[in-house]
Structures are given as C-alpha cells and as structure tokens.
Amino acid sequence: MPELPEVETVRRGLAPSLEGARIVRLDQNRPDLRFPFPPDFKARLEGRTITALSRRSKYLLADLDSGDVLVMHLGMSGSFRVEADIEHTPGAFALARSKDPKHDHIVFHLKTTKSTDARVIYNDPRRFGFMTLVPRPELSSHPLFVNLGLEPLGNALDGETLSRLFAGKTTSLKAALLNQKLIAGLGNIYVCEALWRTGLNPARQAGSIAGKTGRATAKTTALAAHIRDTLQEAIEAGGSSLRDHTQADGSLGYFQHNFAVYDREGEPCRREGCTGTIARIVQSNRSTFHCPKCQR
C-alpha cells in the first residue's frame, strides 16, 4: 500500500497537469473499482475545472469549481499516467506500476492552463483503489475523514502532542503510530525507520514514553522530529525522480537506498557503534524491522 510520501509525490507529479485544468471529457471504462462509482460520476466531472489538488492522509483531493471534491485513493496497485509533452508516471513506488491499457479504468481528457491537451489515466490492475465525489462542506464529516488523526507533517506533530496521544496506552508503539485515528498517513515502512532513528523498540508500550502530565518528554520530542524528517526526506527523494523523469516507470525514487532497517533482516545495524543485527518480527500481521540491540 503506498504510504504518505508516495501519495504526496503523486500529488506533486499530477499538480502541473491537473490544477487549473478543465475536464473536457471523462472515459469511465467500468462501473466500479473497490467501490462503485457514484451514479452521476461522469456527468459531475465533465466540463468542471480543477481548482486545487491536495492530500489528506493517503487520499488525493481534487477541488472542482462546482464545489465538489474528487476523492481518490490508490489502493495497492493504482497509479496515474500523464500523457502530455512528456509521458510519465507520477509517484514513488516500491514496485513498478502497470501501463497495460486493459487496466486503464478512468481517463481524464484535459485542457490545461496552457491551453494544451493532456490525458491523465488511472490504471489499477487489482482495483483496490477508488474514487468518489463529496461536496466540500461535507468533507470533514464524511465517513472517510471524520475519524482521521492529525497530519504528521508540520508543527502540529510535536513531543507534547505525542505525549497526549500516547498517555495511558498499553498498545505497542508500532500499533499506536499506525493508528490512523491518532496520526493520519503513517505506514509500515516509515514507522520502522522513524523508530530506528529514535532508538525505540517498536514493541514497547506507547504510554511508556509519554509524560505523566501530558507534557513532552525527550523520547516523544525526538520521535516527533524523526517522523517528520523521515517523511520529508522520502518525499524529497521521490520528488527528485519526478523532476527529471528518470523514474518514468513509477519505481521508487531514491529513499529506498536510505532504509536503515526496513527489509534488511539479518544485515548489520547501520547505527554508528552498534554491533547489532536487524531482526524481523510480526506485529498485527505486518512485518516489523528493528535492531534489538540499540532500540530499547
């Protein structure tokens, strides 16, 4: 499943083509993806102008001049392909994305802000992604968004916030960080990496690093900073491959070369002075990679 940095690099890659563009025509090649499309999906999109493209958690949000928001989720295998002056696949994915036309389920025919024609194609072999339309005033109360936690980028995530969120929680640090009701958009890869950077064991209780009065502790302050830094570095790595289109097949940008623990089971720990070996454990049916020696 694409994580926040991958979705954000998709947003950045799509923005030049989508923002300000008018949807001249929409090809809807099937009635559903993971969920059925709204019955008037095509009619509500054709002729509309996309005024902004944003992200909330792992969702892409395209604001339309009609007041609707086109909500898009990539699922496990979804991707967008832009056909304009240069064909490219915006994103930073661990596995190459499909270009098989039989999986091109939605095609946006656009007139861009430069009065040029472009096509943005949504391809999804496994069809776990989805799209829907939500009126902007109803977005925050929509079932997809009403229970989402705070965004992990920016100043809202700090040591005091983590202490407040984790106070009294006996669940593991890994589970707490993946709880989308607490923090929106964090996924398995970057949680593993941030916990390694902070020197925290993913299996320890979340409440054990929180201040008793909800105040920030050294551990929550460090973890918040490492979460933000890890995500931002991953976004910039994906963005680098988008800017010069060297990763036009949609493969992961450069951040995979910086993985300290993820998918490195049995390899030496990269922390200076640590002689530990990266181990893999299973938490909630997901692989967790960590160094048992330096992560406490």
Residues assigned a catalytic role: 2-3, 58, 286
For helices 218-243 and 159-166, what crossing angle results, to 10°?
Answer: 110
d(CA 192, CA 246): 27
Query: What residues are paired with 79 via a beta bridge?
Result: 123
With H, G, I as helix, E, B as strand and everything else as coil, classify residue 279. strand
d(CA 125, CA 258): 29
Residue 197: closest CA among 294, 108, 97, 53 = 294
d(CA 16, CA 160): 37
Query: What residues are paired with 93 via a beta bridge?
Result: 251
d(CA 296, CA 293): 7
